[in-house]
Structure 1
Amino acid sequence: MKSCSTSPEEGWRKRWPEIRLAVKELSLLQHEDQKAPTMAFLCVSKLLVNVLDEIGPTMVVLREDMQRNIERVEEIYLSNPSIFSSLEEVLQSDVDSGLARKGDSFSQAVLWLARSLNFSLALLEQLVKDSDASLALVVEEAYQLTIKPWHGWISRAAYKVAMKLIPEREDFVALLMKQEQDYDALKSDIKEFVSLFKPLLDEIQAILKKFRLDRLKST
């Protein structure tokens, strides 16, 4: 798969919202047989970091954590793209070397990046599911469903402080939309993104479970 950072059609990339770009990237996977491709994981991760940016200071800790983990996974992928084209190979390498449970391992980066993506997916699902809910409620429900079970008391305390800075729902939605898009189009893009991305996350979760890495917690 080609890198998601380059395209001869750079003009539409600047005009399109991140969700629609993610849909385009994921649509390319429909023609590939490989399970949990590393490049697709990285491409969608980078696009969803931009979505979290629109929420503002509230998501800065999660956003920075995602960025570090993206760079970590990208590091091992670029070291040998042919070998590490699948996330399963990334995890297998760590397991074989006995490093998988270390805090700075590539496996830990995959694990926490997958959890962050699961949070982002849940956030977007809740956003279109309840059009009357405040963004604070949407974020809270997504956090409760995804990341909170794996956070220790320090991480949970930091999250509570960040919740005080969440913007209004209308402002967030407006920031997600770019040129030539209305709210109905955004909802349609989100629903398509969820349908395409959830199978990939399920594959990644199955791989993490296979290596017994899916239950690890933070402080």
Structure 2
Amino acid sequence: MAVLRQDVHQNIQRLEKLCELDPAIYSNLVEILRKEQREGRARDNYSCTRALVWLTRSMDFTAALLEKVVKEEPSLMNMEKAVEESYNITLKPWHRWISAAAYKVALKLVPESKNFIKLLMVENEDYETLKEEINSLVSLLVPLLDEIHSTLIIFRADRLKSN
């Protein structure tokens, strides 16, 4: 999960940097997308448009995985299968062969479900509380992601593939 976390962090940093350059102009994601599209840079490797696309897809993957985590009893859950199913519906359609190959290697490093859940839990938290928190997070995240996907469609950025 470290690779995913690093990718998310880099994409956030790219967007934050542009916002900090001129907060009046880049006050929201739509303005950033509009500017890059107008300049013909939206599809560039290091564009903020591309960063937003991959940040959104990473969050799609996270939401899908978390939904699977709360649906199954931790002792019965196959984490590798949950990760693979989440990957297949969210990221795989956009990955080229090298990214897909890297994913296959990363899949072998997925922790067991009880260890993964332990990582998510606050000290002295019980599993039921964690499930409630995850359900709350997902219920807030998914509509936001849907809105971002709609915006990406408007700017024709929804079909970008990995490099």
TM-score normalised to the size of structure 2?
0.94
Residues of 1 paired with 2:140 and 2:27: CA distance? 19
**1:129-148 equivalence runs, <5 A:** 129-131=71-73, 132-148=76-92
**Match for 1:203: what amino acid?**
E
**1:9-158 equivalence runs, <5 A:** 59-131=1-73, 132-158=76-102
**Match for 1:198: what amino acid?**
V
Match of 1:166 among 75, 87, 110: 110
Deviation larger for 204-213 or 128-137: 128-137
Residues of 1 paired with 2:5 and 2:133: CA distance? 22
Aligned-pair distance for 1:181? 1.5
Name the residue aligned to 1:182. 126
Residues of 1 paired with 2:56 and 2:99: CA distance? 17
SS of structure 2 residue aligned to 1:165: coil
Residues of 2 paired with 1:77 and 1:116: CA distance? 21
**Match for 1:118: what amino acid?**
D
Residues of 1 paired with 2:99 and 2:91: CA distance? 10
Match of 1:195 among 130, 139, 142: 139
Residues of 2 paired with 1:142 and 1:198: CA distance? 14
Deviations 1:26-73 (A, max 9, x none): xxxxxxxxxxxxxxxxxxxxxxxxxxxxxxxxx233222222111101
**Match for 2:59: what amino acid?**
L
Residues of 1 paired with 2:139 and 2:24: CA distance? 28
Residues of 2 paired with 1:83 and 1:167: CA distance? 43
SS of structure 2 residue aligned to 1:100: coil
**Match for 1:116: what amino acid?**
S
Structure 1's consecutive aligned runs of 4 or more residues displaced over 3 angstroms after TM superposition are none
Residues of 1 paired with 2:64 and 2:26: CA distance? 28
**Match for 2:53: what amino acid?**
L
Structure 2 residues not aligned, in runs of 5+: none
Structure 1 residues not aligned, in runs of 5+: 1-58
CA RMSD in angstroms, aligned pairs only: 1.2
Name the count of aligned residue pairs.
161
Aligned-pair distance for 1:192? 0.7
Deviation larger for 188-197 or 131-140: 131-140
Residues of 1 paired with 2:155 and 2:80: CA distance? 35
